[in-house]
Amino acid sequence: MTAHSSIKEGTPRVSKTKAAGIEFSAVNMTFADGTTALKSLDLVIEEGEFVVFVGPSGCGKSTALRILAGLEQATGGTIAIKGRDVTDLGPQHRDIAMVFQSYALYPHKTVYENLAYPLKIRGLGKAAIETAVAGVADLLGLAALLQRKPGALSGGQRQRVAMGRALVRNPKAFLMDEPLSNLDAALRVEMRGEIRRLHRRLGVTTVYVTHDQVEAMTMGDRVAVLRGGELQQFDAPQRLYEQPANMFVASFIGSPAINLAMAELGAGSAAVTLAGNAIPLPPSRRVEGQSAGPVMIGIRPEAFSYRRDLEHDVSLTITPDLIESLGAELLVHFAIPAASVPVALTSSAKSAVSQISLPGNAREVSTRFVAKLDARCAYAVGQEATVWFSTDHLMLFEAATGRTILASAPMLKLPV
Amino acid sequence: MTSATLPPPRPTRRLLRARILTLIRAGAALIVSLMFFAPIYWMVLTAFKSGNEAFNATPSLIVWPDFGNFSLVLTQSNFGLALSTSLFVATTSTVFCLILGASIAYPLARIKMRGQKHIAFWILSLRIIPPIAVIIPLFLLLRSVGLTGSIWSLVIVYTYMNLPLTVWLLRGFFADLPAEIEEASFVDGAGRFRTFIGVTLPLTAPGFIATALLCFIFAWNEFLFANILTGAATRTAPVGLTEYVTPVSVEWNKIMAAGTLVVLPVWIGALAAQRYLVRGLTLGAVK
Amino acid sequence: MSDSISTITRGSHHRSRRDGWTWFARRYGALLPMAPGMLFLVLMSIYPTVYSLVISLFRWNLSDPTRMRFGGWHNYGLLLTDATFWNAVIVTFKFVTIAVSLELVLGLAIALLFFQRFPGDRFLRAILILPMVVAPVVVGLLSRYMLNVQFGIVTFVTEALGFGRVDFFGEPDLALGTLIVIDIWQWTPFMFLIMLAALQGVPEDIIEAAKVDGARPVRILFDHILHLIRYPVAVAVALRLIDAFRVYDIIFMTTRGGPIDVTQTLSWQIYDAGFKSLDIGYAAAYSWLMLIIVVVTVTLVLRLLLNEQASR
């Protein structure tokens, strides 16, 4: 895969200044019932890095984390933590700490005992345990709750105890399996920031699993997008957004989801035709691997503008059929007469939405698009309007595979 | 608030009707419960009666409690010995059941493997076999190793009898415990054994207690095997009871006192573990 | 350190199953604790099964243990043509079906009384539990005492009501019915407990939805609740069937198969053949036939309860 070639290229790994924190080498996982959860996963996580595994359910992200923790035994490949091969070690010998989705607090132990448990197992003295627990309790604001049992805590407090139990010792890595998914929305945003700050402070390699692309984008130094047990792309969040390796990544990252439709690439790759509109491709961007024929086009909702300026040079005439207000911005929905892209190549939940067509035009070939426009545009439902976008923001994908075929666009400047 | 000074609101007709219905239901429930309780009351009452009262044609419903029958039963005959034999056999077989049962049930509940379901169902299916159908081969087997007449033959048979139930129940209790809690312990550095002792066991303790209680009750009440496999010195309480009934004399007040002594410990246990009894009795089908 | 790094750089060619033993221990080591218990179960179940199957094919009476002759299906043929066997089958089925079905109906009825809470319901429920943990031997003795023709309290009641003295265990017409009533007394509480737990497990919103739809309580019971509790009902009935087929202790303490043969159940006759007549080949064949009867009955009843209700 091209996306993570940056890791493999250049001089041998050993001579790098930073040692690899965690390394997956050709890890395979096939369950007893024959389902394949991971296909030859290769991934190197730098020491001290915060990496997020993201993907739809069943993509293998949790399995990858559980294999890293030693809770599942991979059917092939090796796992190394800080240069030590841990493939055949049980979880108790890997020196990692983990925060579970359900928190997995010990319900029969008090908060203090929960926090002390990992230290007690390591045979620390009473005084040392007390100091460590007090430190963590201070850090997370748990000092007043130490004598309570988990049953008497709120969801947010339980989450903090779970974090505390991981923080109390100095593990080689923190593993987090959707740790915020049981919290309400406001608390989730708050804890998101808190986990990031803790990571910056402690600098311990962290692997974080989530199905929420917003969490992935906001938290990860780098994000690994998985699908069907295969790594799609491993990159910094901004690069995932701007230079997705394929249509799946493009459709998974971003909200509202990227607009996708079938289009026709003109001879010599000079222009692409979308719903009858010929869109010239800028000479600065080369099409790789294909010269003409059907392709899939992607335009992010944020790439649209209601007015023409230097950046936005291509126009589309649309008829909005639904307008949702976000306050400063509007989500303007419209249909364009182009065929939809194959569901199999996108993240299915989002493409399902684009499949819905209104009863009136059920027979026409049409695809739903969304534009995120400045609220000043004052468009109205049913009234024809013009939206503009730039060819710099265009993405093209190979029809058969969904692979990105248009060379990277320059930095996308979003309206502030 | 002004409402504090107001008189309580008059119940609506609908509410009133509901209250009357509840009263009727409670009355019916009381009558039914008394019908089921009556024989038990009669047994305990007779246990406190003198010999003459027990044979009285006009029964007395209330008697002055006299513990004489109990002390006679415990001192004058071998019944005290039978009770202690029963206690030993039931306790020992229960302990064996729990140890063997947990060591089968835990892997069965936790470790993914092929054929797991088949093993569980095979074990459960052993419960369908009527004891009378296996008693002859078991009797001959135990006799060939010289265990007939020994307490240990009963311990073995009861352990075998209760093991399927134990495995099935404990498997359910283990499966109910979220695997993540154990996994957290692994990650925290504890091995399988330490996790089992420190996390799994305390959290499934109620299940263990309920299972133990059922094993104990079944072993304590068992008669068929006890009657055939024990000798004069190793009688269990149910077998001992039958000896009170002789063609010559039937001392009902003493029999009822002995019966009360047999029943009392399991009543106390059953009442204490009521909450888990249903689940245990239905092999976990109803929680 | 350097060693492990070189291992990692070999990367994809490397397999985790490098050491057969480690891999085996990690994968199957946790199954090891099962061994003693499984061994015990297998030995204790396989041995009697095989042994009993073998001796059921022999003519073997322990009163003359040296004479053990192969008889093939002799014992089975003898049984199937024996009127006493068929009598036992009928007696057992009468006992099992009447007792278990009445227990089911009564248990459900009592559970409906207790379904909505009322003051003191916990106490009454605790009282109702008591009969089923009474040792069957004690139940037998207690019923003998209470039904005694001379001084039993039930006799006192029947006389007071003008029925005169009734010998419940001695009358051929009454003996089996009496045993059934005793079984009902002891085991209705079991059905009650399970039915109550099952009723409490019915999602409240379904009942509320039916109420809003205008259904009367009886309709709700038959249209919805019975359907929703069919699984616990099936388990309870199956367990009671299995236990009712075993009935032995109470018969031992009371009628001992009599008067004449009206309480001769399968269990009782097997005991009789094996431990009184010492005809163990015959008793073994009898055991096999009984096991087949129990398994077939329980399977059929389970299928009936689960399928018919489901297709409704």
Greater model confidence, C178 or B58: C178
Query: Which range is least confidently modeled, A10-19, A65-74, B238-247, C268-277?
Result: A10-19
pLDDT at A69 over 80: yes
Which residues of A are less than 8 Å from B180 in CB distance? 100-102, 104
Average pLDDT over residues C64-68: 75
pLDDT number for residue C4? 35
pLDDT at A218 over 70: yes
Task: Give the pLDDT confidence score for residue C23 in this predicted structure.
Answer: 60
Average pLDDT taken over every residue of chain C: 83
Residue of chain A nearest C20, judged by CA positions:
A88
Task: Give C175-231 pLDDT, tens digit per residue.
Answer: 999 999 999 999 999 999 889 988 888 888 888 888 888 788 888 888 888 888 888
Q: Which fold has domain B76-281?
A: MetI-like fold (1.10.3720)
The answer to whether B137 contacts C156, with C-beta atoms less than 8 Å apart, is: no
Torsion (CA) C21, C25, C26, C29 in degrees, nearest 10: 170
Tokens 């493999």 appear where? A8
Residues in C closer than 8 angstroms to A80, CB to CB, are: 4, 8
- pLDDT tens digits, residue range A77-119? 999 999 889 988 888 889 999 999 999 999 999 999 999 999 9
Q: Is the pLDDT higher at A414 or at B54?
A: B54
Average pLDDT of C26-33? 73
Contact A103, A111 (CB under 8 A): no
B111 vs A: CB within 8 A: no
pLDDT band at B182 (very low <50, low <70, confident <90, very high): very high
pLDDT digits (tens, 9 = 90+) for C114-126: 988 888 888 999 8
Say whether pLDDT at B64 is over 90: no
Portion of chain B with pLDDT greater than 90, in percent: 31
pLDDT band at C6 (very low <50, low <70, confident <90, very high): very low
Is residue B276 pLDDT above 90, yes or no? no
Interface of A with B (CB under 8 A): 32, 69-71, 90-92, 94-98, 100-102, 104-108, 117-118, 121-122, 165, 175
Does the C74-311 domain belong in CATH 1.10.3720.10? yes
B206 touching chain A per CB within 8 A:
no
The pLDDT score that the predictor gives to residue A2 is: 40
Q: Which of A67, A89, A94, A98 to mutate to test the interface with B (most CBs of B within 10 A)?
A: A98
Where do the CATH 1.10.3720.10 domains begin and end in chain C?
A: 74-311
**B199–chain A nearest CA distance, Å:** 7
What would the pLDDT profile of C166-180 be if each residue is shown by its tens digit?
Answer: 888 888 888 999 999
Cβ atoms of B104 and B198 closer than 8 Å? no
Say if the Cβ atoms of C239 and B59 lie within 8 Å.
no
Task: Quote the pLDDT of residue C15.
Answer: 42
Q: Which pLDDT value is given to residue A133?
A: 94
Instruction: Give the helix/strand (H/E) hosting A198.
Output: helix A185-202
Residues of chain A with pLDDT > 90, as a percent, come to: 48
DSSP state of B271: H
Tell me the shortest Cα–Cα distance from C15 to chain B, in angstroms.
22
Cis peptide before A256 (omega within 30 of 0): yes
Tell me the three state secondary structure of residue A77.
strand
Cβ contacts of A261 within 8 Å, gap of 6 or more: A274, A275, A296, A297, A336, A338, A339, A340, A341, A367, A369
What is residue C35's predicted lDDT score, i.e. its pLDDT?
87
Cβ contact, residue pair B286, C235, below 8 Å: yes
Residue C156: its pLDDT value, please? Answer: 85
The answer to whether residue B192 scores a pLDDT higher than 50 is yes
> Would you call C30 and B110 a contact, using CB atoms and an 8 Å cutoff?
yes
Q: CA-to-CA distance for C260 and B154, rounded, in angstroms?
A: 33
User: Coil, helix or strand for B11?
Assistant: coil
Tally helices (H) and strands (E) across chain B. 14, 0
Q: Which of B188, B192, B193, B208 to mutate to test the interface with A (most CBs of A within 10 A)?
A: B188
Confidence check: pLDDT of C103 > 60: yes
Q: Which residue of B has its CA nearest to A34?
A: B114
Q: What digits encode the pLDDT tens for the residues B27-51?
A: 999 999 999 999 999 898 888 887 7
Q: What pLDDT sits at residue C308?
A: 59
CB nearest to C34's CB, from B58, B104, B271: B104
Whether the per-residue pLDDT at C109 is higher than 90: the answer is: yes
- CATH 1.10.3720.10 in chain B is located at 76-281
What whole-number distance in Å separates Cα of residue A75 and Cα of residue A32?
10
Q: Which residue of B has its CA nearest to A98?
A: B187
> pTM for the whole thing?
0.81
Asked if pLDDT for residue B59 goes beyond 80, the answer is no
Contact (Cβ atoms closer than 8 angstroms) between residue A137 and residue A106: no
If pLDDT is split at 50, 70 and 90, which confidence band does A315 have?
confident
Percent of chain C whose predicted confidence (pLDDT) is above 70: 89
Closest-CA residue of C relative to A83 is C5
Where b means 16+ CB within 10 Å and e means fewer, B242-260 reads bebeeeeebbbbbbbbbbb
Q: Which of B114, B181, B186 minimises the CB distance to A90? A: B186
Average pLDDT, chain B: 85
Residue B138's pLDDT is what?
87
Q: How far apart are the first and last CA of chain A?
A: 34
Q: How would residue A354 be classed by pLDDT, with cut points 50, 70 and 90?
A: very low
Task: Specify the amino acid at residue A82.
Answer: K
Residue C1's pLDDT is what? 34
Does pLDDT of C157 surpass 50? yes
Would you state the pLDDT for residue A1? 39
**Residue range A136-174, pLDDT digits in tens:** 999 888 999 999 999 999 989 999 999 999 999 889 999
Q: What is the pLDDT of residue C21?
A: 61
Across the interface, whether the CB atoms of C26 and A14 are under 8 A apart is answered no
pLDDT at A350: 42
Subunits with 3+ Cβ pairs within 8 Å of A are B, C
Q: Is the pLDDT at A391 greater than 90, yes or no?
A: no
pLDDT in tens, C225-257: 888 888 888 888 998 999 999 888 899 888 888
